[in-house]
A and B are shown apart, each in its own frame.
Chain A
Amino acid sequence: MAASAGIYLSQDPALPPNGGSWQGYTLGGLGLALILWLAWLGIRKRQYRNNRGTLEGWASAHVYLGGIALPVAATLHGGFQFGLNVHTLAYALMAGVILSGLYGLYTYLRFPPLLVRNRGDQSMDERLAELDRIDKEALETASRCDESVHTAVHSALDRTAVGGGFRDQLFARDRSRVLLPGTGKREGRNVLVANRGQRAVVDYLAQRIPDTSKHGEAERLRELLYVFGRRAELLQRLRREISLQLRMKLWLAIHVPLTVALLAALTVHVVTVFFYW
């Protein structure tokens, strides 16, 4: 890096710095080499038989060279001359790649601990299994309750949403809904209401408990109450897990295409520069 800075400054002040001087070519070559090497990580990290160096080492080198050395070398190569052309395009793409990479770094530092906290001592699979179990419980209990409760519970389970679409996953939105007996003018009809955090169905069950007559119904309802309480918790954590996982992987889905585009742009850059030499 210092070297590239030195080369840059060694340029004759009489002329604005530019990729055309020998210093320019040197820096350009350096930058190109760097980019190719950095992109090679995509291959290297999959060469599991490769015995040279730990991947950790490669990754950290990737971060340092890509985050610091490359921008310096490339910027100086461009000599701060920007314009509406393929060369600046390549530069912009590179900037994009680096920025996305830095964000990736941030996520890798930030999210794992959050995931740990979110998981507690239970893996996602375990949670799913538990969810499955208590769902079965709920159905089983509900089947012994009266019809309206049964439908409510059933619909609540059926219409539980964990992830949903991209945005839902990203922001851990809860789009669960539930079919509840309508009130007021919608009396007698079942209406579909939002069931964020299972609150709607919990409220419904809670209201039901006081005016139960059937023997053991109250107990069953309380059972259900508990189940939905637990569900809410499980689902919430599941959503968070998904959202964190997504965030942690998403950046790569930007980083990589940009990198490939950058490689293409570099080809264009080099070809054209020498095509119109």
Chain B
Amino acid sequence: MLILLRQIRMRGERIVDQRDLELDTAALRVGSGKGQDLQLFGDGIGAEHAVLRPQAGGRLRIDTRGGGRIRVDGQDVARAELAPDEWARIGPHRLAPVAAPPGFDAAVEVRIDADAAQSIKDRLRSELTLKLPRVRRHAYGLALLVLLVGLAFPMAGYFDDRADATIERFGGPTDDLWSSGPLASAHHVPGIADDCNACHVEPFKRVSDETCIGCHERTTVHFAPVHPLTEEFDGACRDCHREHNEPSNLIVRDKGQCTDCHARAMRRLADAAPAVDGMPVARAPDEMRPVTAFTAGGHPDFLASVLRPADDPADGERWRVHRQPLDGADAHESSRLKFPHDIHLDADKVSLADGPSSVDRALACDDCHSLEKEGEHFRAITMEDTCAGCHSLAFDDAQPDRQLPHGEPATLRTHLEEYYVRQAAIQRRAEPPRPARRVPDEPITRRCEGEPLDCGREWADAEMDKLFTKAGCVSCHEVERGEDEWTVAPVKLVRDWFPAARFDHRPHLNPGARADGETCLGCHEATASSHSEDILMPGIDNCVTCHAEDRPRSVALQCVDCHSFHRPGMALMGEH
């Protein structure tokens, strides 16, 4: 197209001269370099500064090159499209599209600052200008990238599953990027590991207990989502169970979790009806003493849960759990069993012929007490398994394998009568009558003169009296003469002295663990106990010798080491 290029050299506001140039081109090259269609000198003009392209409607498009700039109404821009008679500035000069005179397709008027000269700075401009990266552009570029990858895509995925699917298909960024760390191994299960929303259900809401319970109420026995016996407890699963926090096993053992509340004394809820093994707790202090740490001062003394028979006989043979200090006036239990530990552990009094090489030795704890697998409790003590070895139930030396039935006083008399009636009958039948046999510690040699039935009865009666008053039942049991028959008070041994706490004997059974090399007796002073009422449970002072948090070189304990929050197979914490 034919362009009229009108160059007006100005000095200040005065026109110095003017010359017109006809160019038959579509693009007009402007710059300070040689061979430009319009050569302009001056500050800020590159060798090849810009290209002018006349547009329809008398407009003019300007595209700068090599980072050059033109200034349109005060703004430095890289490209612009000028309306007719709109002026743009190139360095010190100004130009605008003007109405094309007849015969021309377009006309551009350039007001050239006549004083602007080609200085060496312009000559070397492109070379001298520092080739610095475009800070603003890069900044925004990077920021945008980060926002897209980090936020936009995953967010899209979150709100729109189809988008999520597509993104995932192309390996695009998903909300995996948001994970602040690997899940605990327990949660490496499909449905959780691969889906954040399995737990993060609602945005900007912390993971709720419901979400956890959703799976977990069936996974553990006695799983109790809420803290027992309180209402104001606002804790949630996540307080103790931290996810995305490898290599931890989910559980926060920090004692702070408990002591935050328990550092102050608390009252039990009124309606709490604790029980141990189905037995109601009769005397439990309704106040919980403050706990700050497992130290002599920071933790209250232990309360043992001992069993007592119901006070009023109306309750019959019902037992009550009494929680009481280990020392003090009524620091005794009442299992109604007579068992002096000291005698049994005294080799002079009681010894055991061990095996064929019958070398006598003293009894050891584990001769009677055998630990259960869980390491805390002991197998129940029974007559048959534990005592019978020494305390035989034979009553007639002549027939030592005749044994009394244990634990059934009701059948005892019949049992004896049957035996003695038989004895009498046999005596009467013996013709010629045998010489009367002398019966130990009986004044006279017994002879059945009458009916064998009567003799048998009489003899049985005598035997009963002996068992319940001299030796036999009475030596271990509390017996009493009912209106027509002897009775044995029922026996109940405490199985769990500290139901609220867990204690694993196994690590403690290492003799090296104690200075005196003792294992059991180091803590349970059985040798000094002459009554079975004695409670041989050690108190806290015993534990803290090794486990005080505030002592150096001691094995500090966190609350959950003894008082676990959820306790599979055991009563809920606090229910006692």
Chain A residues in contact with chain B, CB under 8 A? 12, 14-16, 18-20, 81, 83-87, 89, 93, 128-129, 131-132, 135, 161-166, 169, 242, 245-246, 249-250, 252-254, 256-261, 263-265, 267-268, 271-277
Contact = CB atoms under 8 A, between A and B. Distances in A.
Contacts of A89: 146, 150
Q: Which of B139, B145, B246 has the most CB of A within 10 A?
A: B139
Nearest to A160: B124
A15 B204 CA distance: 24
Given A16-B246, A83-B180, A259-B139, 9 more contacts: A16-B248, A93-B146, A258-B142, A261-B142, A264-B147, A275-B203, A276-B203, A277-B200, A277-B204
Interface in B209-242: 242
A83 B158 CA distance: 21
Contacts of B129: 163
B253 A261 contact: no
Best-surrounded residue of B128, B247, B252 (most CB of chain A within 10 A): B128
A268 B138 contact: no
| Most-contacted residue by chain A among B130, B132, B182 (CB, 10 A) | B130
Q: Which of B124, B128, B180, B242 has the most CB of A within 10 A?
A: B180
Interface string B321-336: 0000000000000000
A128 B150 contact: no
A169 B129 CA distance: 9
A264 B151 CA distance: 10
Interface in B58-114: none
Interface residues of B, number: 52
Contact of B131 (A83, A246, A256, A257): A246
B178 A276 contact: yes
Contacts of B131: 163, 165-166, 169, 246
B128 A256 contact: no
Nearest to B123: A132
A20 B242 contact: yes
Interface of B: 119-121, 124, 126-133, 135, 138-147, 150-151, 154, 158, 175-182, 196, 200, 203-207, 242, 245-248, 252-254, 256, 558
Given A15-B254, A20-B245, A166-B131, A275 B178 contact: yes
Contacts of A242: 128, 130
B121 A275 contact: no
Contacts of A277: 200, 204-207
Nearest to B179: A85
A152 B167 CA distance: 63
14 contacts: A12-B253, A12-B256, A14-B252, A15-B245, A16-B247, A128-B124, A257-B135, A257-B142, A260-B139, A261-B143, A268-B147, A272-B175, A275-B203, A277-B207
A131 B147 contact: no
Nearest to A93: B146
Contact of B181 (A18, A163, A250): A18
Contacts of A250: 132-133
Is the contact region of chain A dominated by helix, strand, or loop, or is it mixed? helix
A272 B178 contact: yes
A136 B147 CA distance: 55
B196 A276 contact: yes
A267 B568 CA distance: 44
Contact of A83 (B133, B179, B200): B179
Contacts of A274: 204
Contacts of B180: 18-20, 81, 83, 85, 87, 273
Contact of A128 (B121, B132, B182): B121
B128 A162 contact: yes
Nearest to A162: B127
A130 to B, nearest CB: 10
A271 B130 CA distance: 39
B130 A169 contact: yes
A256 B177 contact: no
A251 B247 CA distance: 39
Contacts of B203: 275-276
5 smallest A-B Cβ distances: which pairs?
A163-B127, A268-B150, A261-B142, A260-B139, A132-B120
Contacts of B143: 260-261, 263-264
Nearest to A87: B180
Given A256-B135, A257-B138, A260-B143, A15 B177 contact: no
Nearest to B155: A275
A163 B468 CA distance: 120
A163 B196 CA distance: 55
A241 to B, nearest CB: 10
B248 A15 contact: yes
Contacts of B206: 277
B127 A164 contact: yes
B151 A276 contact: no
Contact of B132 (A81, A253, A272): A253
